[in-house]
Structure 1
């Protein structure tokens, strides 16, 4: 299934994408795509529906029908740093011995085509295409062998980052990661049964039509089961939590000379089987 949330910001309704590319309304079945709905039993209830009987929503998703973030009421937005060896190299940082964790504030979350706002005082706003993992079955101290049982689905995330805030403003990376609009999420949450191999998904990102990032989840240093198990050692993972798993090379910081967003650009990105995003960048 491809689950989504559609409608005006702050008033999104739950839906799913049918086989013809139309949105079907789920608001008569569930309150939102989030929380208890993401547990295995909640997803099974939706999967058992006859999609053809659900109301079809007017409009084309990501065209004249706005999509919100594909998960409503995200609890924790946990991110993994330097999880691709070639990205660590371009950043001039050693390959980590264990996963690097940081957070995005949930106020950063926006829809997949909503604008990205350059924050006041920014001089180094950057882009990062990432695979998002959405937790469905809660747990703590999860074994790697059981980790994928806790996944509700996968999605595209742009881990927008302000490098000066992140690296030069003292303290942890969080200052440069959680600014408003720095977490475009979606377009849809894709359930695991639709993904043949999560370790072989091609991913890309363009700025104004120029390819900047091109990679694959095949080169993740720490794979999805490792990340889920690792995170669960430090916090319980709840249904509706999101783990953003790192980015391949090609970020603005790694260009020669470095290239950053200043406003007016269009950032487009996608992951095979998970859809695409396209966001206009607004100046500070």
Structure 2
């Protein structure tokens, strides 16, 4: 099964936390010595050009990330073979209700609400032309990532600064849970995370190091979420 239609085939989003030391430090977190991850629902996917919904009263932050798309079942794979299980890549934003996350952390509770709202995984849809084939990124550990809110650069980093490389992340996660075709692995965010608000425009890009131009771009507007949620 191809992972190109991950909106329909992927069963889970595995998100790596604190995988850039400067990001861990900016939030006052210890730099991890082993990979740390959490799960997000696939219902949080938002295709490029959509609207990020900010729940009323929530302090929602952007986190730009390189996403690895799993191409076939991976269980207990060694790091030396882990990249054989990657079908391609995508550019994604892990949206986080930072205030809800802080409350959950203080109580020792899961981050599901802070990370799982609808539209909280904006992503360049890996279907047909939008899919980044594996061959287009020869080295996933040397990719430039950037994100702007309106016209201001907020995040600019390179995946060479990851604490744990993509292959090590896949190997580690696969020792705990089976990765399946279409699953999305968010590999962590560089420093510079911050708030977005209704009325903002969020743009982002990805460029293999040394390339003349971005390989792919994202653009989303930000609106207030309509619904019954109350904190």
TM-aligned CA deviation for residue 278 of structure 1: 0.7
Select the residue among 60, 79, 86 that pairs with 2:15.
Answer: 79
The alignment status of 1:107 with 2:43, answered yes or no, reads: yes
- The answer as to 2:52 corresponding to 1:116 is yes
Tell me the residue number matched to 1:223: 165
Greater Cα radius of gyration, structure 1 or 2 = 1
Show the 5 A alignment for 1:1-284: 36-38=1-3, 71-122=7-58, 124-169=59-104, 170=107, 171-187=109-125, 188-252=130-194, 260-272=195-207, 274-284=215-225
Deviation at 1:262, TM superposition (A): 2.4
Task: Provide the residue aligned with 2:229 in structure 1.
Answer: none
In structure 2, the partner of 1:13 is: none
In structure 2, distance between residues paired with 1:282 and 1:153: 30
CA contact (8 A) 2:13 2:41 kept: yes
Question: So what's the TM-score if we normalise by structure 2?
Answer: 0.87
Look up the match of 2:228. Answer: none
Identify which of structures 1 and 2 has the higher relative contact order when contacts are C-alpha pairs closer than 8 Å and 6+ apart.
Answer: 2
Quick one: distance in 1 between partners of 2:16 and 2:2?
25
Higher strand share: 2
Unaligned runs of 5+ in 1: 1-35, 44-68, 253-259
The alignment's TM-score, normalised by the length of structure 1, stands at 0.72
Q: Which segments of 5 or more consecutive residues in structure 2 lack a partner in the other structure?
A: 208-213, 226-231
Relative to 1, partners in 2 of residues 1:230 and 1:218: Cα closer, same or farther, differing over 3 Å?
same
Deviates more, 1:179-188 or 1:126-135: 179-188
Q: Deviations over 1:8-66 (max 9, x none)?
A: xxxxxxxxxxxxxxxxxxxxxxxxxxxx123xxxx8xxxxxxxxxxxxxxxxxxxxxxx
Name the CA distance, whole Å, in 2 between partners of 1:110 and 1:223.
26
